[in-house]
Every structure is written in structure tokens, then in C-alpha cells.
Amino acid sequence: MDQKLADLVQKKQKQAGTGEQIDWDERRNRYVAAVDALYAQIEGMLAEAIGQKKVASQKREKHLTESYIGTYAVNDLILLIGDEPVRFSPRGRNIAGAEGRVDVVGERGEAILILRGDADWGFVQSRQPTLAVVPLKEETLAEVLQLVMRD
């Protein structure tokens, strides 16, 4: 083996022995728990409408496969508002600039929710020239639902 290559391998082996290893299972579990908490928050915001049967809510399991994490199960949240479905669909934990992503898909369009920190979900308002994220609240949820649903 070339000496430069051997030195590089040895250097990386030493770094791996002293460095902190990433716990991918922990990252996956935190993301799945954050998605569950997001759904509970959304259902809480819509609790009155769900109780009055104006909105129906259901969860459907799906599987995601990500580098380092592998394949795991997570739920989509499907809201039926009137006769129109809106799906909250997790896209993954390993997202650049965020701790995770959930897409909001309606008949007219899509929106993106990203996780910043352990439980801080927000809607992406714009990506250019800089990333602009608004926190998830009842009013921002209403705006996004109007954006992705037909008139």
C-alpha cells in the first residue's frame, strides 16, 4: 500500500477510536417520536372539528429507507377535510439544515414542514435567497392547508 494511503488509513482509525460515534438508532427514534408529537399537535389544533366530525383523521404506516439509519416504519397522517384529503408524509431524518422533514400534500400543491431542534416544527416559506421558516401554529396551519387544498 502506498505510504500516503497507509498514513491516511491509520490517521482515520485513530480518530475513530477517540471520537464520539453517532447513534443512528437514537436519531431515528427521536425523529419518529417527533413526527408522532407533530401529529398529536395537529390533531389537537383540529380537536373541535374532529369531535364534530367535520374533519376525519387517520394514520397509515409507511417505510422509509435512509443512509446509515436503514429501513424503518413511520406513519403518514391523512386528514379528510370535507371531501378533500391532505396527507402529512414524513420524508426522512437526514435532511440538510434540519432534524427531519414532513411534506404536506394536497390536491392543489405541497408544503414542507421541517424539524429544528427536538420539537420545533415549522413551515418552509422560502428557500431562496435564504431559508425562511415560520413556526407551526394554528394560523400557519390554516395558511398551509389553504395553499395545498383546492378552492
Q: What does R_g of the chain's alpha carbons equal in angstroms?
A: 20
The label of the residue with cell 440538510 reads 96
For the cut 80, the answer to whether the pLDDT of residue 13 exceeds it is no
Asked if the structure places residue 15 within a domain, the reply is: no
Q: How far is CA 45 from CA 96, 141, 142, in A?
A: 28, 9, 10
- 23-32, 71-80, 101-110, 128-137: lowest mean pLDDT where? 128-137
Burial grade of 38 (CB within 10 A; 0-12, 13-18, 19 or more): buried
What is the span of the domain harbouring residue 142? 22-148
- β-partners of residue 80 are 56, 85
**Location of C-alpha cell 394560523:** 139
Q: Is residue 76 part of a domain?
A: yes
Per-residue pLDDT at 124: 94
- Give me the mean pLDDT over the 28-46 stretch: 97
Residue 17 lies in a domain: no
Q: Residue 15: which pLDDT band, with cuts at 50, 70 and 90?
A: low
Q: Is residue 9 part of a domain?
A: no
Record the cell numbers describing residue 103, joined without a space: 411534506
**Which pLDDT score is estimated for 72?**
97
Tell me whether residue 137 is in a domain: yes
Q: What is the pLDDT of residues 125-139, one digit of tens each?
A: 887 888 889 999 999
Residue 54 lies in a domain: yes
Looking at residue 63, what is its pLDDT? 98
| 5 vs 149, more confident | 149
Q: For residue 13, tell me if it sits in a domain.
A: no
pLDDT tens-digit profile of 86-139? 999 999 999 988 999 999 999 999 999 999 987 899 999 887 888 889 999 999
In this prediction, residue 140 has a pLDDT band, given cuts at 50, 70 and 90, of very high
**How many structural domains is the chain composed of?**
1
Residue 10 lies in a domain: no
Average pLDDT, the chain: 92
> Facing residues of 65 across strands?
71
